[in-house]
Amino acid sequence: MPVRLLNTASRSIEEFAPLDPEGRRVKMYTCGPTVYNYAHIGNFRAYIFEDLLQRHLEARGYEVDRVMNLTDVDDKTISGCRHHGVPLADYTQTFKTAFFEDIKTLRIKPASHYPAATAPEYIARMIEMIQGLEAADIAYKAEDGSLYFRISRFPRYGQLAHLNLDELRPSGRISSDEYEKEAVGDFALWKAWTPGDGDVWWESPWGRGRPGWHIECSAMATALLGPQLDIHCGGVDNIFPHHEAEIAQSECFTGKHFSRYWLHCAHLMVEGQKMSKSLGNFYTLRDLLAKGYTGREIRYVLLSVHYRLPLNFTIAGLDAARTALGRIDAWVERLQTLASGCAPAQQEGAAQAKEGFLQALDDDLNISAALGNLFDWIRESNRAMDSGGVSPAEAAGTLAEFQVLNSILEMDAESTTVPAAVLALVEERQAARAAKNWAQSDTLRDAIAEAGWQVKDTKQGAQLTRL
């Protein structure tokens, strides 16, 4: 059975086949972070869904060439650097560095390329594309000195988002990067410099200015992957106007169909409400790590709900992830002990269980069914080991099949290295105990527990275990 995916463009499930005549190489573009702040776990939901898609395609034998851009110039990054009074590049560097640390923590497979919009070769490509659109009279310069895309010249504008432009009566021009569907209109490709931009500008055939957000992705995608992509992904909030604009710009410039499949993940909610800064229910990855949860546990939560369903993020969900992972760890440890380095024997049941998992993912990444299969397999395998019916070679065979699933899940147990911050608390607590300051010692015990570790006082000294 081929992989089947829900294509936002057709709103139907379609069989996946790449453009590559040999049917192997897949060109995938994923909209990356706007580096004006630490990425929040909603952003990471999108990146983990894309990671699942890439890893599953690879498990099915495809070679995925994935690009994820870094939006390091747009309305938000400019307003952030101006507010803090630092150069744009310095301001965005902090969040770029944090982003790469965070994807490592979440075990997200690195993309093949991470182009940054401000790199000279991509600014040049944006200008080249806008010039091409201007020559075709699709882009025009307005009184404000900025260049706009004439949406009336692209009749398919609105098709991805299923908008009826006649009903919406498009009118006027929009200069901001983000806007609602009701405000549909000619959008900015190149924004003429204004005092609010400070020292953020590039020279262009139209004078000093900077690119609009949408042209950045069209330029980076086509520069690195060519005029035609297999898959383009993002969160549902990207469908309009961002992806709609990307299609219009790219197709008018290259004359080719831009992307065959469009996939979008639903939003992440927190405790039943939309995650937002104003509601105060806003988590970065760092917030959750500080509460003692691990990258693996957060990865599990973000991965375990089907990408098209809203994910209700709760702390209870993280605790449930810890329990689920504990079951996987205990099973793997038991198999490892039994196998004790034995060569794997072919295991019919394990091969079937693995195939059941992969087939569930073939069905538009049905992760709930896939994990359901995995836990059924764990239960049956534990039962067989309870009754002594599993040989060391069979245990090794089971582990080998599990490794195929784990190349997608990436759920190996965390190394039990104790974080330096926890070790410092333990030392402080030892000092408090030596000084018979029991209240202080208890407070520190609680702080250690808060960070996810239990401290026990033994004759050999303090011993730490993961909570």
Q: Which residues bind ligand AMP (CB under 6 A)?
A: 31, 33-34, 42-43, 45-46, 71, 234-235, 237-238, 265, 267-268, 275
Take residue 19 and report the two structure tokens written for it: 């453009």
String of DSSP letters for 105-124: HTTPPPPSB--BTTSHHHHH
Determine the straight-line distance between the first and last CA of the chain, rounded to whole angstroms: 42
Contact partners, residue 199, CB within 8 Å, separation at least 6: 87, 88
Q: CB of residue 242 vs Zn ion: minimum separation in angstroms?
A: 5
Nearer Cβ to ligand AMP (46/225): 46
Q: Give the total of residues touching Zn ion (CB under 5 A).
A: 2
275 binds, among Zn ion, ligand AMP, none (CB under 5 to 8 A by kind): ligand AMP
Among 46, 48, 73, 217, binds Zn ion (CB under 5 A): 217
Take residue 332 and report the two structure tokens written for it: 């793997």
Nearer Cβ to Zn ion (5/220): 220
Nearer Cβ to ligand AMP (318/390): 318
Which ranges of 136-228 does DSSP label H, i.e. alpha helix?
165-168, 213-225
395 binds, among ligand AMP, Zn ion, none (CB under 5 to 8 A by kind): none
Q: CB of residue 3 vs Zn ion: minimum separation in angstroms?
A: 23
Nearer Cβ to ligand AMP (42/344): 42
Cα–Cα distance for residue pair 71/35, rounded to 1 Å? 6
Helix (H) or strand (E) holding 462: strand 461-466
Q: CB of residue 214 vs Zn ion: minimum separation in angstroms?
A: 7
217 binds, among ligand AMP, Zn ion, none (CB under 5 to 8 A by kind): Zn ion
Q: CB of residue 39 vs ligand AMP: minimum separation in angstroms?
A: 7
> How many residues appear in the chain?
467
Residue 31 binds Zn ion (CB under 5 A): yes
Residue pair 171/185 in contact (Cβ under 8 Å)? The answer is: yes
Nearer Cβ to ligand AMP (89/462): 89
Contact partners, residue 405, CB within 8 Å, separation at least 6: 354, 357, 358, 374
Stretch that binds Zn ion, among 116-124, 137-145, 178-186, 213-221 (CB under 5 A): 213-221
Nearer Cβ to ligand AMP (243/429): 243
Helix (H) or strand (E) holding 13: strand 12-15
Cα–Cα distance for residue pair 344/196, rounded to 1 Å? 65
Residue ranges binding Zn ion (CB under 5 A): 31, 217
